[in-house]
Amino acid sequence: MPVKHLDRAKSRLRGAAPGGAAGHRDLVLAVVRDTVAAAVAAVRAVLVVCEDARVVEALRGSGAECVDQPGLPGLNAALAFGADRLRARDPASVVGALQADLPALVPAQLRAAVAEAAGRRAFTPDRPGTGTVLLLSAAGGGLDPRFGPGSAAAHGADAIAVGLGSAALRCDVDTAADLAVAAALGLGAHTARRVRAAGRVG
């Protein structure tokens, strides 16, 4: 799971929580914590590639391992680094990239998507269908992440689509409107607390 430096993360979500920069940071951290909690409950190991000691601190005790993003900047470089690290530990396994902005995620939907992939290269498009929330390698294969604008089409070129009926898995929150959709699905505990404290969504 990739997490950007908190000073830059989720810029399109700015203003969804009151309290200026601190309120935004707390909302982003809450979303990350809920997404990590669901992932930890669903898969064998979760590695978070991040750029910020505050993320490491917030995830202490979560069951996820955190590593600093070394070398090249950018999302795909972070994911390739994490995937190589996991692959070195287990040459035959499936490795995956899961976006860290899925506050309604429930473990069963992630587990089901992995099961549906059944060891084949696979991806789950986001709610609008243009982006990607989950990318899975083939068993023993490379991750070859192609995140960025139009990533669903890029991944769909050689990966099968899975989890299409899983609304919570597909609900990444880029904007306040996305957060309202996630709230209707049911937010994880940390995000729900932030949203309640804010007294509103969006």
Ligand X SMILES: Nc1nc2c(ncn2[C@@H]2O[C@H](COP(=O)(O)OP(=O)(O)OP(=O)(O)O)[C@@H](O)[C@H]2O)c(=O)[nH]1
Ligand Y SMILES: C[C@H](OP(=O)(O)O)C(=O)O
Residues that bind ligand X (CB under 6 A): 2-4, 9-12, 49-51, 69, 73-75, 78, 99-101, 172, 174
DSSP state of 11: G
Amino acid letter, 97:
A
Residue type at 79 in one-letter notation: L
Note the helical H segments in the chain: 20-42, 53-58, 75-89, 107-117, 151-156, 167-170, 176-185, 189-198
CB of 160 to ligand X, least distance (A): 22
Binding mask 129-168 toward ligand Y (x if CB under 6 A, else -) reads --xx--------------xx--x-----------------
Q: CB of 26: closest distance to ligand X in angstroms?
A: 15
How far apart are CB 200 and ligand X at their closest, in Å?
Answer: 20
Could you tell me if residue 62 is left (phi over 0), alpha (psi between -120 and 50 degrees) or otherwise beta? alpha
Residue nearest to ligand Y (CB): 131
- 174 is a contact residue toward ligand Y (CB under 6 A): yes
Q: How many CB atoms lie within 10 A of CB 130?
A: 12
Please tell me whether residue 49 adopts helix, strand or coil conformation: strand
Out of ligand X, ligand Y, none, what residue 144 binds, judged by CB under 5 to 8 A for its kind, is none
Burial of residue 158 (number of CB atoms within 10 Å: 0-12, 13-18, 19+):
exposed
78 binds, among ligand Y, ligand X, none (CB under 5 to 8 A by kind): ligand X
Sheet with 65-68, side-by-side order of all strands: 2-3, 47-50, 65-68
**Residues contacting ligand Y: total by CB under 6 A:** 9
Smallest distance, ligand Y to C-beta of residue 116, A: 19
Residue placing its CB nearer to ligand X in the complex, 69 or 124: 69
- Least distance to ligand Y, CB of residue 75, Å: 6
Residues at the interface with ligand Y (CB under 6 A): 75, 126, 131-132, 147-148, 151, 172, 174
